[in-house]
Amino acid sequence: MTAAEAGRPFTVEPWCVREPALHLEAMGQTESVFALSNGHIGMRGNLDEGEPHAIPGTYLNSLYERRPLPYAEGGYGYPESGQTIINVTNGKLIRLLVDDEPFDLRYGNLTRHERVLDLQAGTLTREVEWASPADKTIRVRSTRLVSLTQRAIAAICYEVEAVDAPTTLVVQSELVANEQLPQRANGDPRVEAALAEPLVSEQHRSESAGATLVHQTRQSGLRLAAAMDHEVYGPESTQTSSEATEDIGRTTVIARLKPGETLRIVKYLSYGWSSRRSLPAVHDQVRAALAAARFTGWDGLLAEQRAYLDDFWITADVEIDGDAELQQAVRLAVFHVLQAGARAERRAIGAKGLTGDGYDGHTFWDTETFALPVLSHLAPDAAADALRWRRSILPQAMERAEQLGLAGAAFPWRTIRGHECSGYWPAGTAAFHINADIADAVRRHVAATGDLEFEREVGLELLVQTARLWRSLGHHDSAGEFRIDGVTGPDEYTAIVDNNVYTNLMAQLNLRYAADVAARNPRAASRLGVNAEEMASWRDAAASMRIPFDEVLGVHPQSEGFTDHQMWDFENTPEKKYPLLLNYPYFDLYRKQVIKQADLVLAMQLQPDAFTREQMSRNFAYYEAITVRDSSLSAATQAVVAAWTGHLDLAYDYFAEAALVDLGDLAGNTDHGMHIASMAGTWNAVASGFGGMRTDRDGISFAPRLPSPLPRISFGVLWQGRSLRVTMTADEVEYRLVSGPPMRLRHHGEALALADAPVVRDMPPVPAVEPVEQPHGRGPRRRHPG
Amino acid sequence: MTAAEAGRPFTVEPWCVREPALHLEAMGQTESVFALSNGHIGMRGNLDEGEPHAIPGTYLNSLYERRPLPYAEGGYGYPESGQTIINVTNGKLIRLLVDDEPFDLRYGNLTRHERVLDLQAGTLTREVEWASPADKTIRVRSTRLVSLTQRAIAAICYEVEAVDAPTTLVVQSELVANEQLPQRANGDPRVEAALAEPLVSEQHRSESAGATLVHQTRQSGLRLAAAMDHEVYGPESTQTSSEATEDIGRTTVIARLKPGETLRIVKYLSYGWSSRRSLPAVHDQVRAALAAARFTGWDGLLAEQRAYLDDFWITADVEIDGDAELQQAVRLAVFHVLQAGARAERRAIGAKGLTGDGYDGHTFWDTETFALPVLSHLAPDAAADALRWRRSILPQAMERAEQLGLAGAAFPWRTIRGHECSGYWPAGTAAFHINADIADAVRRHVAATGDLEFEREVGLELLVQTARLWRSLGHHDSAGEFRIDGVTGPDEYTAIVDNNVYTNLMAQLNLRYAADVAARNPRAASRLGVNAEEMASWRDAAASMRIPFDEVLGVHPQSEGFTDHQMWDFENTPEKKYPLLLNYPYFDLYRKQVIKQADLVLAMQLQPDAFTREQMSRNFAYYEAITVRDSSLSAATQAVVAAWTGHLDLAYDYFAEAALVDLGDLAGNTDHGMHIASMAGTWNAVASGFGGMRTDRDGISFAPRLPSPLPRISFGVLWQGRSLRVTMTADEVEYRLVSGPPMRLRHHGEALALADAPVVRDMPPVPAVEPVEQPHGRGPRRRHPG
């Protein structure tokens, strides 16, 4: 049962997500929503005592294990093994014995259970009042944080109060490696076997109030250290001792409390891993981080966390008046995007961040296309580091291109550390657009930050190698047009097609931008072997890029011949057959007009200048009617283009769908992790959709429009060293420079100068438009019926 | 090392294939070439004593084991398990101890070793003279047959002569289940495990001079019985005894021979299996068959075998004057096609017949498209039974269609007993043309035999269900054309395309023929639910079938947009990179103009009336230049269309390539079984290519043309109850009615009446044509240089 079916587990509040009572049936969802991460360490919102759980999860960015990729019929270039994120040593675990009975919510009497994710404090707190089966009542209060300021550190403050009788407490605070995990449904037994106990012990040590465990992953050979230390505050007789075995570190605290007395334990946790450093080096690294955290202290960590977030929210806050649920959802969304990337530091940002095991922890094009536009404007260092990670895997991408018979770099469709991990090439290898998506992320990041050094030092090589890929992947036909055949665009219900418009437009941009940046940085380009002939060949290919157009229908076909295909029989497809990929074969999905996720519409979002206003409206209407949104990567894009084409209420509906995907468990799989791309798309829907924000080398412009049910939306954006806030109401829009030097911007085409004083402009009227239709039963939930 | 590299193991003789000395390095090839089969039992040409071997193989048609089909990323409708042919109880085994040393060719001194496959006798004989390491010389002579007249029976006459000294012989004649097999290269360990010991013993019994073993397959639960009995002729002191254990039946014969004396053992073998019959029933069935064989006796079996083949060769013989190598090859080819189908009797005819384990023993479209045209004209009962097998798996095919969301029947791309066993849908499920190939085989069979009862009783249901498939698979576009999108044609280097010309033409024929047969059999059609509206909808779809044509190039694109694709870079593809599928990724093969095997050219062979003479010539030239023949299914078709378009020497080259694929091990994989489709294509190249034979409901016609190096070709054909022989020389052609009532035929369009007296006509002159070119390095070997 999904949480949506079970009733909403969360209350609606502006700055936190509160679960006022325990929803056992929604445990998987709450574990993901309550996950804490700094982009390096991720901890699912598992209960302190470990059980009951849906999916126990502690993750370290890019710490993976190899798993076999089997094929019924193999083929050249198929990857033989994949990479999968693993549940590392669990340091969240604090077990509690109340007199002689274990604290377990499934037994005894739970009179109060509240959990709160505080988006300003960056903490997950929990308050419990529980009577043991023997009727001994205690109160437990825990606060957990994964530090945004000290990358290796997490910490927990754990307090137990004896309520009405003297109580003996035994607290076992642990590090546990190779936790037993729930069996995956339909798991391949060989894969299950490979991942059953992925960690091999290398060292285990205990200190007086802590322990350190060092392990290596069995196949991938990565070294991982986890350490803990404790501060214990309790009655004088309280005893603390520690022990360690291969897979367990345990600090035991025994205290006898009188009624009203509290035992308070602060647990400091430190994590580190390396593929190259020695055992002593990794061991010492986590102990040093732990020492620094203890030096900071619990209150210090809390204060640092809040200060970091206060600074973030100045720009990042989005205010949505008139819809408290979305107000909460959009802040949670921005928070999770930050958590996914904040301290990833040249490692990948996964599709689920570090909130769950979904998609094996892989990174896809989601990062560049959905998450980075947000980070470039709200946490630009994180965006830059994500692109530096891409540059760091260029060797693997170039090797892959060579294996595929192509020039330049072919980035993996899904990966953790750079190797292609896709076991289904029609929706993996063939989806070459990821390379242009990376190039476009560079372009957008440079436009957002004005960081030309980054463009030269990091961007150029990415641009050159992806441009080379496109030049070798496409060819000129006899009519002189540059075609890219046999590839797969964003829509996963269509594959292996010729001249996918999205792909060709993005490749065109990639080729042009690479030539431009190379021309502006001739020495750096020359070091990469780029000469004038090569740059000219990129520009030529871009100039003659084929963009198919259906003259009869007056729309762009998603790819060559697409609009000649049979329409999916939406009328006779019952609701329970969605998502279609679980109930219909790929061959049938591929050959019919049915779209899983925005593809041509995404092309319009990312390259609006390639379409006339009329084409945009006609295309949007055409693709609305065949898009089923079986992917969470779709609604936010539809929101943007709906807003641009004047369908503002529809944009509002899609915005809500994107924002609520995890709070409402709309896809039914939030238990496996947060939909980071949809979270990010929520912000894009505000800034790009309603705000009409666009950036390029020439500047930043806005074209604000507001859906009528919403009286006010305010959002902020970092732009080239400035923090700018845009506040829209029904009648007017205010542009305000929060910090940074004076700047220029455009408002619906009008050039404005902005300095200390805010500038206010009228909102233009929104012309009435013909309504568009979605496939039978697949329209978004109306946010305001009627 | 392939045999081609090692030097040819065989001599050239008209009616047999002789290996005059043992070629250990070509053991895999000789085991396949020397395989004996009646379509029910198949025995590879393994040595009597079992070792050395390349691949030991004894097969029973359709006796399979299930194997898991794993996927790195699964999908709806993917088959979870496949079927694979297994090596059943080996009854060929006769071990020999010479004094105290085992008869093993790898030791001692081999002074003579000859094996002969006699195409008139239907036997494999072997003569060996061998001195043991202790220098005791013996002669061994064995003759093996798999009876074409007694379906369950094989027999071996095994003689050992002491040459120059008194010798004690111990002969162990065995039945061995679960023989240890050589490990497959790159085998999936799970699959290896599933197939390691596939047979579970149910019963083992020995008689005085024989034994019976009954087993069940472990996963698929099929019951199999093998029995043997012996006649022993030796000196008076000769002793015979038998024993049986779970997996071994053994008859031991001990004899002491004086020099010049011979021990002669006749071994009778009987096989049977059933998915439903009880253990006693299957046991008794093989014992009864064995009793009948002993009653017939060895000489009787030999005589029956020869009589069966004499009768066959009257029509089936093909005479090729002027090319002794091809003379031999074409007879071997026809022989192996017969062996594959003769007594299959409503079971499948596999791509390798029963000569090896290649392709897991699966049956593909090869059967209908390549093998059945031969069998319909040379052994029509076998062809009819193969189509009855197809009808018998209609329930599985209809279930598969339903699973795929289609009407009618979707026959499996590869199977043994009806379930889809393809683990790669772009070249499996998407290759829907197999359904029209089956329909066309019905049409050709009825045209060849005139058997309208078969058409109604067997053909109609196949036609109706396949027509329904096409009607649901295609759709009318807005211009009113009927399109079939997202399918894969015969060429496996192109997949998932729109309007593959081959597929659309074959579907058109299928739809029309189904409507015609239904109209002629209204009551039978009505029982299948066919009404006038449905028939009209088939005819309408056929009439508006889209056949794309490239007006600029003046050729048919293989599928929509094909001729716009990039040309494969043949110049820079070295010889060692072929076959391309082992060295380039599918995505690249699919999106470029490079063809594995005849596709559009096959469409021209099977539906010549759909093309003008000029289109045929232009198309042939265009596709010649991009066809690399990485499939053995190509050369014979290219031979036919080369002949039709006047490229007679080229046709001769392709004919030779098809004919010699196994004798020359041209594909390097003859060790895994004979290429039955290529064997059959050899006959098609003669009859259809050089003979210009075409049949339809209106009659039979010829348009003979001879390549200049060949002075004479003669071939026979059964046509509607007649045996007809066509003999071509450079100047004239003779049509002779060997048996059957008077008939009419057409010679190059001229109507002729044929009765007792032969009719002779001039061969028309062959106009000169522009030469065509093949891809760099991929032309066929010139048969007559210069």
pLDDT in tens, B431-450: 999 999 999 999 999 999 99
Q: Which residue among the candidates B420, B492, B534, B624 is catalytic per the annotation? A: B492
Please count the residues of chain A: 786
Candidate from B429, B478, B487 with C-beta closest to A585? B429
Pick the residue with more confidence: B713 or A73?
B713
pLDDT value for A3: 41
State the complex-level ipTM.
0.92
B736 — pLDDT class (breaks 50, 70, 90): very high
Measure the CA–CA gap between A724 and B174, rounded to whole angstroms: 90
B696 — pLDDT class (breaks 50, 70, 90): confident
Phi, psi for A92 (deg, rounded to 5):
-75, -15
A190 — pLDDT class (breaks 50, 70, 90): low
Residue A443, SS3 per DSSP: helix
Neighbours of A243 (CB within 10 A): 12
Nearest C-alpha of chain B: how many angstroms from A121? Answer: 40
CB contact under 8 A, B423 and A73: yes
% chain A with pLDDT above 90: 95
- Judged against a pLDDT cut of 50, whether residue B460 lies above it is answered with yes
The pTM of the whole model exceeds 0.90: yes
Taking every pair of C-alpha atoms in chain A, what is the biggest distance, in angstroms? 90
pLDDT value for B193: 66
Per-residue model confidence as pLDDT tens digits over A161-170: 999 999 999 9
Enumerate the residues of chain A whose CB falls inside 8 A of the CB of residue B477. Answer: 564
B786 — pLDDT class (breaks 50, 70, 90): very low
Per-residue model confidence as pLDDT tens digits over A583-632: 999 999 999 999 999 999 999 999 999 999 999 999 999 999 999 999 99
Q: DSSP code of B763?
A: P
- Judged against a pLDDT cut of 80, whether residue A184 lies above it is answered with no
- Judged against a pLDDT cut of 80, whether residue A188 lies above it is answered with no
Q: Closest Cα to residue A60, out of A359, A354, A383, A390?
A: A354
Q: What is the mean pLDDT of residues A494-522?
A: 98
CB contact under 8 A, A561 and B564: no
Measure the CA–CA gap between A284 and B410, rounded to whole angstroms: 64
Enumerate the residues of chain A whose CB falls inside 8 A of the CB of residue B415. Answer: none
B698 — pLDDT class (breaks 50, 70, 90): confident
Pairing of strands A566-567, A592-593: parallel
> What CATH number does the domain located at B34-307 have?
2.70.98.40
Q: Which residue among the candidates A19, A31, A455, A492 is catalytic per the annotation? A: A492
Phi, psi for A87 (deg, rounded to 5):
-75, 115
Size of interface A-B (CB pairs under 8 A): 155
**In Å, what is the CA distance from A417 to each residue of A66, A83, A199, B339, B509?**
11, 8, 18, 55, 53
Task: Determine the topology of domain A318-722 in CATH.
Answer: Glycosyltransferase (1.50.10)
CB contact under 8 A, B585 and A77: yes
Question: What residues pair up with B744 in beta bridges, in sequence order?
Answer: B753
E strands in B425-576: 475-476, 482-483, 566-567
Burial class (CB in 10 A: 0-12, 13-18, 19+), A154: buried
Enumerate the residues of chain A whose CB falls inside 8 A of the CB of residue B71. Answer: 70-72, 423-424
For residues A212 and A223, the answer to whether their CB atoms sit within 8 Å is no
Which 20-79 residues of chain A touch chain B by CB within 8 A?
Answer: 69-79
- The set of long-range contacts for B50-55, using a CB threshold of 8 Å and a minimum separation of 24, is B50/B90, B50/B92, B50/B93, B50/B95, B51/B104, B52/B24, B52/B27, B52/B104, B52/B105, B52/B106, B53/B27, B54/B27, B54/B28, B54/B182, B54/B671, B55/B28, B55/B31, B55/B181, B55/B182, B55/B356, B55/B357, B55/B671, B55/B672
- What HEC string does A141-176 produce? EEEEEECCCCCCEEEEEEEEEECCCCEEEEEEEEEE
CB contact under 8 A, A486 and B564: no
Instruction: Confirm or deny that B568 is annotated as ligand binding.
Output: no
Which amino acid type is present at position B57?
G
CB contact under 8 A, B582 and A76: yes
Per-residue model confidence as pLDDT tens digits over A121-158: 999 999 999 999 999 999 999 999 999 999 999 999 99
Please count the residues of chain B: 786
B404 inside 8 A of chain A by CB:
yes
CB contact under 8 A, A72 and B74: no
Enumerate the residues of chain B whose CB falls inside 8 A of the CB of residue A475. Answer: 566
Measure the CA–CA gap between A339 and A337, rounded to whole angstroms: 5
For residues A497 and A488, the answer to whether their CB atoms sit within 8 Å is yes
Per-residue model confidence as pLDDT tens digits over A733-760: 999 999 999 999 999 999 999 999 999 9
- Judged against a pLDDT cut of 60, whether residue A786 lies above it is answered with no
B145 — pLDDT class (breaks 50, 70, 90): very high
Tokens of A6: 């079970």
pLDDT value for A8: 83
Q: Within 13 A of B171's CA, how many CA atoms are on the CB side?
A: 32
Binding annotation of A for substrate: 365-366, 596-597
Measure the CA–CA gap between B605 and B644, rounded to whole angstroms: 9
A5 — pLDDT class (breaks 50, 70, 90): very low
Mean residue pLDDT of chain A comes to: 96
CB contact under 8 A, B477 and A73: no
Neighbours of A339 (CB within 10 A): 25
Q: Within 13 A of A591's CA, how many CA atoms are on the CB side?
A: 24
Pairing of strands A699-702, A743-747: parallel
Which 718-757 residues of chain A touch chain B by CB within 8 A?
Answer: none
CB contact under 8 A, B75 and A478: no
Measure the CA–CA gap between B662 and A457, rounded to whole angstroms: 59
Instruction: Confirm or deny that B477 is annotated as ligand binding.
Output: no
Candidate from A190, A564, A588 with C-beta closest to B483? A564
B183 — pLDDT class (breaks 50, 70, 90): confident
For residues B743 and B720, the answer to whether their CB atoms sit within 8 Å is yes
pLDDT value for B156: 98
Closest residue in A to B423 (Cα) is A72
B480 inside 8 A of chain A by CB:
no
Q: What share of chain B is helix, strand, coil (3-state, %, to 5)?
A: 35, 25, 40
- Judged against a pLDDT cut of 80, whether residue A191 lies above it is answered with no
For residues A83 and A421, the answer to whether their CB atoms sit within 8 Å is yes
Neighbours of B669 (CB within 10 A): 19
Q: Closest Cα to residue B48, out of B138, B131, B115, B109?
A: B115
Q: What is the mean pLDDT of residues A27-35?
A: 97
pLDDT value for B5: 44
What are the residue ranges of helices labelled H in A367-499? Answer: 372-378, 380-392, 394-403, 433-449, 452-454, 460-473
In what helix (H) or strand (E) does residue A329 lie, and over which residues does it extend? helix A324-341
DSSP B363-384: B-THIIIIIHHHHHHH-HHHHH
Which amino acid type is present at position A724?
L
**Annotated catalytic, A492?**
yes
Enumerate the residues of chain B whose CB falls inside 8 A of the CB of residue A485. Answer: 561, 564-566, 591-592
Measure the CA–CA gap between B269 and A659, rounded to whole angstroms: 74
CB contact under 8 A, B495 and A496: yes
For residues B357 and B673, the answer to whether their CB atoms sit within 8 Å is yes
Sheet holding B732-739, edge to edge: B318-321, B712-719, B722-729, B732-739, B759-762
- Judged against a pLDDT cut of 90, whether residue A239 lies above it is answered with yes
Candidate from A69, A72, A485 with C-beta closest to B591? A485
Annotate A608-640 with b (16+ C-beta within 10 A) or e (fewer). Answer: bebbeeeebbbbbbbbbbbbbbbbbbbbbbbbb
- Judged against a pLDDT cut of 70, whether residue A7 lies above it is answered with no
Burial class (CB in 10 A: 0-12, 13-18, 19+), B138: buried
Nearest C-alpha of chain A: how many angstroms from B194? Answer: 14
Tokens of A742: 């004076």
- Judged against a pLDDT cut of 70, whether residue A500 lies above it is answered with yes
B765 inside 8 A of chain A by CB:
no
Pairing of strands B199-207, B167-176: unpaired
A405 inside 8 A of chain B by CB:
yes
% chain A with pLDDT above 70: 97
Distance, CA of A691 to chain centre: 22
Residue A66, SS3 per DSSP: strand
Distance, CA of A418 to chain centre: 18
B483 inside 8 A of chain A by CB:
yes
Enumerate the residues of chain B whose CB falls inside 8 A of the CB of residue A429. Answer: 585, 587
- Judged against a pLDDT cut of 80, whether residue B194 lies above it is answered with no
In what helix (H) or strand (E) does residue B389 lie, and over which residues does it extend? helix B380-392
B317-722: CATH architecture = Alpha/alpha barrel (1.50)
Per-residue model confidence as pLDDT tens digits over B525-562: 999 999 999 999 999 999 999 999 999 999 999 999 99
Enumerate the residues of chain B whose CB falls inside 8 A of the CB of residue A594. Answer: none
Q: Tell which phi-psi region holds residue A378, choosing left (phi > 0), alpha (psi between -120 and 50) or beta.
A: alpha
Q: Would you list the domain boundaries of chain A?
A: 34-314, 318-722
A679 — pLDDT class (breaks 50, 70, 90): very high
Phi, psi for B560 (deg, rounded to 5):
-50, 125
CB contact under 8 A, A404 and B560: no
Q: What is the mean pLDDT of residues B421-429?
A: 95
Which 203-232 residues of chain B touch chain A by CB within 8 A?
Answer: none
Closest residue in A to B81 (Cα) is A72
B16 inside 8 A of chain A by CB:
no
Candidate from B73, B486, B591 with C-beta closest to A486? B591
pLDDT value for A4: 43
Which 638-697 residues of chain A touch chain B by CB within 8 A?
Answer: none
Instruction: Confirm or deny that B366 is annotated as ligand binding.
Output: yes
A188 inside 8 A of chain B by CB:
yes
> What CATH number does the domain located at A34-314 have?
2.70.98.40
Which amino acid type is present at position B733?
V
